[in-house]
Each structure stands twice: as structure tokens, then as C-alpha cells.
């Protein structure tokens, strides 16, 4: 009798648990279309970046441009689908090229939700595992993180083809010529109405994560379905960073506030894949046979992504073949552990780690002046720090020499900070200049008020790499008379509760990613220093209050000419290296691992901001 009762209870529990799982894996309504990846200066608490997405205080939505849909154009869903978009013959022909099989990938941080406009997009993995495969962009990044027109465009807007124009009154017009073959997965044409809708959704959605750049747009003319004319009141140089994903107006509209939508599914695709289902246990993609780009049609029949949040378990799953590829955070001992059939590419990366110095830190005992900041920079052996932090992961880790917002592609990153090497004489000179003394030659510097030169330093508790760096630096700067008070917090506390309200530091160690073509003004704008008065909006998280830097940053954002812009970037870099609002350390490498006995093709996008899975349409399952 007792045994029977236990059996019944066990069975009921099993069924209850199973029912929960079944609900999660219920396939979503298969429908078309997609969207492409957004650029990522999204914060990610484990890769950890700053909350760089949110920011500027923006005027009310009604002031930012017409909230009425463009009248001359019918909603895209009512238009005729281009022949190619639904051409069954083409699709069948492509499908025959498919090698088949099921690709199983490990996802290290499972997104909480999928809405690409709201806080759901705060997860880098939402971009890497979901948005980049489904949502189309206008401009896109190639594997080297250089911008190029995506398949939704016929050409890149340039001055020569009339795509970029500055009127006499300073008005800046950006004209996107859309590919008439582009279509959503349900056959609805991809039109300028979608561009207009995306703009409005970024601005009108309650809790929109970022409106950077979008709030500067004064209007988008969508009267021609195949041409989107975007107007700015003045030049906007980082325009390539806009429309990192475009939303289907016919599926999400007409209300441009999409706050409650697409929490657990993206039913329309404009990318190579369709979402079959998404739940807490797995994410399944199948080929979008209506995708209009033949060379990007998937080779496998299905992709299954599963959460593997523990690095050790992730490696075991790779070794056992339960997952075929992973894009893990770089971990100590990677070189030694990834052996046998496991192949990997490590290096590059888009996350820059360094010391961010908060000049408005509430706990500072004395003003952390420019001289002090420079003295700290002169007390560090950054080559050694990089070697200790990353030596067991990759060979020759890259020491950063440019300011924290600089993309590490192209010519943006110069050698601005290269002169900061350990120099006891410089430290003494800088501190003595401000009245600091060192009564004990082996002790700490002391200011005229008797305070020792000890700086509070925060980072993520339990992050071994960073805690190792803290231990090393503490030892390293002691001979220079600089001490540290280390107080670390869990990621939620540091990145959600402290950093956005400037309650950290004055020194914090974390990583930040940046767009390959960022908007600079928001980062150094004096008005962009988060304060209680402005509701802690803004992205100037070092509270670096330099009018010269603020003006230069604004000028960089307005300068459309690439050469002139680069000159300004380097001018700003020189200024930042003098004022030292941050001290660059190293570039966090990306790591793409795959089981070479099970899959072939990975690697091209290892260093991409889209993540290593961007090109899974080109991967093949072996056997």
C-alpha cells in the first residue's frame, strides 16, 4: 500500500514536471520572416559591460516626429509579395542543396524574454542566439566588423549615389534604397514602412532600451515602399549603427508601443531562419525557405540551442557530443582543456576591459584629480596584468592603448595610452605637485589632510580573472605608494543598482563592448553625466566633465567625412589619454569551440559583435 502511494506521488510529480516542459516546447506558429542582428553595446552582466545602451534624456515622443503612419503607403502586409520572395521553385532548388541534420548549440546565458526593443534586448545572448538569425538589418557587419549593406539594401548610401546629403540649412538626409526582393517569411514585402515602424517603436515603446540616434531623426519618408528617406536636423555620422534590426510593421503594428509583444516568440522572420519554438529549455530554428538570399539559405534542417550556463558542464557537453558548438566566455585553462575533437578559435573580441574612474563617486575621500589618475596609470604594468588575466586562455593577449569606447576595428584605436608604463619618478612628480608626501618611503602617499592614497575599487565578486587582477595590482602598486580598498559586488548589485546611479568606485573594473561605429557624444557629453537631477540618465559613467571633450565628441558625431572624423577621434583620444577618465587594460578574447567530428564550418564570425553563431546557415553537420 505504501509502495503504491509512493508510486502514485512519483508519477504525479513526473507528469506535473513533464506538463511544464511540454508547455515550454510548444511550437510557435510558424510564420515568416525575420530580423537581423542589432549592434551590441548592450550590457551583459557576465561578459559584463556597462549599461551603455540607455542614456540620453529624450523629448516626449510626440516631439520627435510624426507619430502618424506614412499615409501614402499601405501597410506592408497588404502589398504584393515580390515574385522571388515566395518563389517555390527557387526555394525547392535551394532546399535540395541542404545537407540536412540537426545542429545543437550551447547557449551560455539564456535570455529572459525576446522583445528586441525593451530590456529583453539587454542580454547579449538574446542578440546572438535569437535576433541575429531572425531580424533583418539595413547595414550589417562583416566578419571583420566592418559595415556593409545588408541584403535588405540595394546599395550603401553614399554621397556619390545621393544616399547621404547635407542641405544648405544643415539638414542631413539619409536615403536607403531597399531591395525589392526582400520579404518577410510570410511573403509580405520588406518596405520603408517597416523602417518607419522600427523608428517609431524604438521611441514609443514603453521601456525602450535605447533610443540613441533614433531620437535625433526628425522624420522618415516612407511614401515609396522601396525607399526610406531619413531626415536629421543636422549631420549624424554614426548612421550605420542605426536599424541594427528592422521590425515587421504588418505583424507588430499599428500600435508603435510594442512593450508587451514578442516576449516568448518572434513569429516573423526576415533572416535565414524561422523560429519554430522558444522556451526555457531550448530554442529551435528551422530554415526560412522564403529567404531571398540564396547563398545564406541554411544547410541544416534544424538548429537546436540549449542552455549550458556552467562552463565545466558546457565543456563536458562538447566532449560528449551532446552539443556541437559553443561560444563560451573565455575561461582559464581553455588551451589545456579543449583537446581531442574539440577545435577552437580564440582571440579578437569586442569587449574592452579596464579601470573606469568615477569622478562623482560618493565614497571618495578626496578628489581623484587628473594627477592622481595619471599616477595610477604610471604605477601599472599593463603587459603583466594582461598576461595574468588572459595568459591561460590565449597567447599574446592584446593590451589596449586607446580609450574605452573605441572600436578595436579599423583605425579607431590608436596608441594614445602607450606612454603609460611603470615610472616611479612620474608618480612622485605628479603627486608631489599636488602636495602629497610619502613620509615612509615604503608606505602610502599622504595628502595635506593626512589621508592616505587609498582608492576604493569595485568589481564583480567571484569573477576569478578580475579578482586575480585586483590581487596583482594591489601588490604591483604598493611600491608606488598607492593602496586599494577592494569591495566587490555580485553582478546584479554592481551593474543594476550601483553603476547606473554612479554609486561605485571611484575605481571599477569591468568590460564594455562598443559598436564598430559608435555615437561618441553620449559618452562624453557633460549633460550626459548621470545625476539625481537628470534622473540618472546619460552614459557618461566616469562623470568626466571636460567641455573640450564634450565638444569634440559632438563634432565627431556630426562629421560625416570619414577621414576628418578619424582625425577628430584621435584628437579626442589624445585628450582622454591626458585626462585619464579610464585606464585601458586588455581586450577580452572571444572563444568559439566546436566538435570537429560533428560539425564543420564554424569560425568565420568568431570575432564578430554578432557572436560566433552568426553564420550557422553555412555550417554542416557531419555524418
Partner 1 sequence: MIGYALRRLAITVPVLVVISFGTFWAAGEISSPTAQLTLNPRISPEAKQAYIELLGLDRPLHVQYGKWLGNFVTGDFGTSLVKNGQDVWPFVERALANTLLLVAAAVSLSLLIGLAVGTISAIRQGSLWDYTSVGVSFLGISIPVFWLGLMLQLFFGLYLANWLGVGPPLLPTAGIYSPGQQGFDLLDRVRHLVLPTMALSLQLVAVYSRYMRASMLEVMGADYIRTARSKGLRERRVVVRHGMRSALVPVTTQAAIDIGQLVGGLIVTERVFQYPGMGVLFLDALEGGDYAVLLPTVMITAVAVFGLNLAADLLYGVLDPRVRLGRGRRVAARG
Residues 1-40 that bind partner 1 (CB under 8 A): 6, 9-10, 13-27
Distance between CA atoms of residues 510 and 222, nearest Å: 42
Residue 68 DSSP one-character state: S
Is the Cβ of residue 322 or residue 452 nearer to partner 1 in the bound state?
322
Q: How far apart are CA 288 and CA 285, in angstroms?
A: 9
Residue 543, phi then psi, degrees to nearest 5: 55, 35
How far CA 520 is from CA of 148, 364, 407, 608, in Å, comes to 21, 27, 11, 21
Does 51 interact with partner 1 (rule: CB under 8 A)?
Answer: yes
The answer to whether the beta carbons of residues 280 and 305 sit under 8 Å apart is no
d(C-alpha 568, C-alpha 556), whole Å: 6
Q: With contacts defined by CB under 8 A, name the span among 70-78, 273-281, 349-357, 433-441 that binds partner 1.
A: 273-281
Q: Which of 138, 237, 323, 403 is in the footprint of partner 1 by CB under 8 A? A: 323
Q: 229 or 494: whose CB is closer to partner 1?
A: 494
Contact pattern for partner 1 over residues 375 through 414, marking x by CB under 8 A: ----------------------------------------
Q: Give whichever of 153 and 323 is closer to partner 1, judged by the CB atom.
A: 323
Total residues in contact with partner 1, by rule CB under 8 A: 73
Residue 281 found at the interface with partner 1 (CB under 8 A): yes
Q: Which of residues 211-250 bind partner 1 (CB under 8 A)?
A: 211
Alpha helices in 357-483 (DSSP H): 370-378, 382-390, 424-433, 464-477
Out of 54, 513, 522, 539, which residue is the one contacting partner 1 (CB under 8 A)?
Answer: 54
Burial class of residue 96, CB neighbours in 10 A (0-12, 13-18, 19+): exposed
**273 contacts 287 by C-beta, under 8 angstroms:** yes
Residue 573 in the binding site for partner 1 (CB under 8 A): no
Decide: is 133 part of the binding site for partner 1 (CB under 8 A).
no
SS3 25: coil
Per the omega criterion (within 30 degrees of 0), is the bond before 254 cis?
yes
Stretch binding partner 1 (CB under 8 A), from 64-72, 77-85, 328-336, 490-498: 490-498
- 62, 206, 383, 415: which one binds partner 1 (CB under 8 A): 206
Segment lying near partner 1 (by CB under 8 A), choices 174-182, 299-307, 329-337, 437-445: 299-307
Of the candidate spans 155-163, 229-237, 306-314, 427-435, the one that interacts with partner 1 by CB under 8 A turns out to be 306-314
User: Considering only 233-241, 319-327, 551-559, 582-590, which stretch makes contact with partner 1 by CB under 8 A?
Assistant: 319-327
Site for partner 1 in 493-532 (CB under 8 A): 493, 496-497, 500
207 forms part of the interface with partner 1 (CB under 8 A)? yes
How many CB atoms within 10 Å of residue 181?
17
Choosing from 88, 100, 233, 260, the residue that interacts with partner 1 (CB under 8 A) is: 260
Instruction: Give the residue with the Cβ less far from partner 1, 24 or 255.
Output: 24
Q: What are phi and psi of 529, to 5 degrees?
A: -75, 120
Residues 146-205 that bind partner 1 (CB under 8 A): 205
Instruction: Kindly provide the residue ranges of all beta strands, DSSP E only, lying in 302-439, ordered along the sequence.
Output: 302-307, 325-326, 342-357
User: What's the rounded Cα separation, in Å, for the pair 512 and 522?
Assistant: 15
Among 284, 394, 587, 616, binds partner 1 (CB under 8 A): 284
- Choices 86-94, 160-168, 280-288, 431-439; region in contact with partner 1 by CB under 8 A: 280-288
Exactly one of 259, 384, 526, 566 binds partner 1 (CB under 8 A); which one? Answer: 259
Binding track over 537-566 against partner 1, x by CB under 8 A: x-----------------------------
Rounded-to-integer distance, Cα 415 and Cα 582, Å: 14
Q: Is 277 in the site for partner 1 (CB under 8 A)?
A: yes
Cα–Cα dist 359/504, whole Å: 10
Quick one: 412 or 619, whose CB is closer to partner 1?
619
When asked if residue 104 is in the footprint of partner 1 (CB under 8 A), the reply is yes
- Interface residue with partner 1 among 316, 384, 454, 472 (CB under 8 A) is 316
Half-sphere exposure of 498 (CA within 13 A, CB side): 24
Sequential DSSP letters for 221-244: EEEETTEEEEEESS--GGGGGS-S
Q: Does 307 bind partner 1 (CB under 8 A)?
A: yes
- Residue 48 within binding range of partner 1, rule CB under 8 A: no
Cα first-last separation, the chain: 51
Q: How far is the CB of 432 from partner 1 (least distance, A)?
A: 42
**Partners of residue 139 on adjacent β-strands:** 149
Which of 86, 99, 119, 231 lies at the binding interface for partner 1 (CB under 8 A)?
A: 119
CA nearest neighbour of 110 among 316, 323, 308 = 308
Question: Which triple of cell numbers denotes residue 298?
Answer: 541554411
Q: How far is the CB of 217 from partner 1 (least distance, A)?
A: 15
Q: Which is nearer to partner 1, 25 or 392 (CB)?
A: 25
Three cell numbers at 233? 536636423
Strand ranges (DSSP E) for 459-572?
483-486, 507-513
168 CB contacts (<8 Å, ≥6 apart)? none
- Nearer to partner 1 among residue 133 and residue 308 (C-beta): 308
Amino acid at each position: 500500500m505504501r509502495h503504491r502511494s509512493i508510486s502514485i506521488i512519483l508519477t504525479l510529480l513526473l507528469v506535473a514536471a513533464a506538463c511544464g516542459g511540454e508547455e515550454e516546447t510548444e511550437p510557435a506558429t510558424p510564420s515568416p520572416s525575420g530580423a537581423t542582428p542589432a549592434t551590441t553595446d548592450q550590457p551583459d552582466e557576465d561578459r559584463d559591460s556597462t549599461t551603455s545602451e540607455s542614456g540620453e534624456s529624450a523629448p516626449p515622443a510626440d516631439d520627435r516626429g510624426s507619430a502618424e503612419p506614412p499615409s501614402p503607403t499601405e501597410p506592408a502586409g497588404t502589398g504584393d509579395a515580390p515574385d522571388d520572395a515566395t518563389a517555390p521553385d527557387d526555394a525547392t532548388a535551394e532546399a535540395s542543396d541542404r545537407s540536412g541534420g540537426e545542429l545543437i548549440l550551447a547557449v551560455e546565458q539564456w535570455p529572459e524574454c525576446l522583445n528586441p526593443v525593451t530590456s529583453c534586448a539587454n542580454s547579449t545572448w538574446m542578440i546572438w542566439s535569437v535576433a541575429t538569425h531572425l531580424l533583418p538589418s539595413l547595414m550589417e557587419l562583416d566578419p571583420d566588423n566592418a559595415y556593409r549593406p545588408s541584403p535588405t539594401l540595394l546599395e550603401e548610401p553614399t554621397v556619390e549615389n545621393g544616399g547621404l546629403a547635407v542641405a544648405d540649412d544643415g539638414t542631413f538626409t539619409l536615403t536607403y534604397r531597399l531591395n525589392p526582393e526582400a520579404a518577410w517569411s510570410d511573403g509580405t514585402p520588406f518596405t520603408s514602412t517597416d523602417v518607419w515602424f522600427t523608428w517609431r517603436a524604438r521611441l514609443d515603446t514603453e521601456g525602450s532600451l535605447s533610443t540613441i540616434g533614433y531620437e535625433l531623426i526628425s522624420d522618415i519618408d516612407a511614401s515609396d515602399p522601396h525607399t526610406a528617406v531619413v531626415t536629421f536636423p543636422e549631420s549624424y555620422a554614426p548612421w550605420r549603427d542605426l536599424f541594427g534590426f528592422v521590425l515587421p510593421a504588418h505583424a507588430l503594428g499599428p500600435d508603435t508601443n510594442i512593450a508587451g509583444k514578442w516576449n516568448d516568440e518572434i513569429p516573423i522572420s526576415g533572416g535565414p531562419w524561422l523560429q519554430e519554438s522558444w522556451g526555457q529549455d531550448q530554442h529551435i530554428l528551422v530554415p526560412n525557405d522564403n529567404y531571398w538570399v540564396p547563398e545564406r539559405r541554411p544547410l541544416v534542417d534544424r538548429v537546436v540551442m540549449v542552455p549550458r550556463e556552467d562552463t565545466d558542464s558546457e565543456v563536458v557537453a562538447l566532449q560528449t557530443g551532446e552539443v556541437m558548438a559553443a561560444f563560451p566566455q573565455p575561461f582559464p585553462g581553455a588551451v589545456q582543456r579543449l583537446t581531442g575533437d574539440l577545435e577552437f578559435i580564440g582571440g579578437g573580441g569586442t569587449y574592452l576591459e579596464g579601470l573606469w574612474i568615477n569622478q562623482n563617486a560618493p565614497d571618495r575621500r578626496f578628489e581623484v584629480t587628473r594627477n592622481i589618475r595619471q599616477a595610477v596609470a604610471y604605477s601599472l604594468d599593463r603587459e603583466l596584468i594582461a598576461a595574468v588575466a588572459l595568459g591561460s586562455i590565449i597567447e599574446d593577449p592584446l593590451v589596449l592603448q586607446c580609450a574605452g569606447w573605441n572600436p578595436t576595428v579599423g583605425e579607431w584605436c590608436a596608441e594614445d595610452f602607450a606612454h603609460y608604463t611603470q615610472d616611479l619618478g612620474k608618480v612622485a612628480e605628479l603627486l608631489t605637485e599636488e602636495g602629497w608626501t610619502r613620509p615612509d618611503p615604503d608606505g602610502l602617499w599622504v595628502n595635506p589632510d593626512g589621508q592616505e592614497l587609498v582608492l576604493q575599487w569595485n568589481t564583480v565578486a567571484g569573477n576569478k580573472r578580475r579578482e586575480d587582477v585586483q590581487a596583482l595590482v594591489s601588490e604591483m602598486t604598493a611600491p608606488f605608494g598607492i593602496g586599494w580598498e577592494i569591495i566587490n559586488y555580485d553582478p546584479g548589485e554592481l551593474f543594476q543598482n550601483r553603476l547606473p546611479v554612479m554609486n561605485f568606485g571611484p575605481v571599477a573594473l569591468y568590460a564594455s563592448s562598443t559598436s564598430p561605429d559608435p555615437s561618441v557624444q553620449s559618452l562624453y557629453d557633460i549633460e550626459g553625466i548621470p545625476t539625481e537631477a537628470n534622473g540618472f540618465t546619460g552614459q557618461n559613467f566616469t562623470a568626466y566633465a571636460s567641455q573640450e571633450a564634450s565638444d569634440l565628441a559632438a563634432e565627431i558625431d556630426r562629421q560625416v567625412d570619414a577621414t576628418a572624423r578619424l582625425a577628430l577621434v584621435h584628437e579626442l583620444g589624445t585628450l582622454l589619454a591626458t585626462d585619464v577618465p579610464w585606464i585601458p587594460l586588455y581586450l577580452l578574447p572571444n572563444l568559439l569551440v566546436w566538435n570537429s567530428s560533428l560539425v564543420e564550418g564554424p569560425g568565420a564570425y568568431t570575432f564578430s559583435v554578432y557572436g560566433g553563431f552568426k553564420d550557422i546557415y553555412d555550417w554542416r553537420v557531419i555524418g
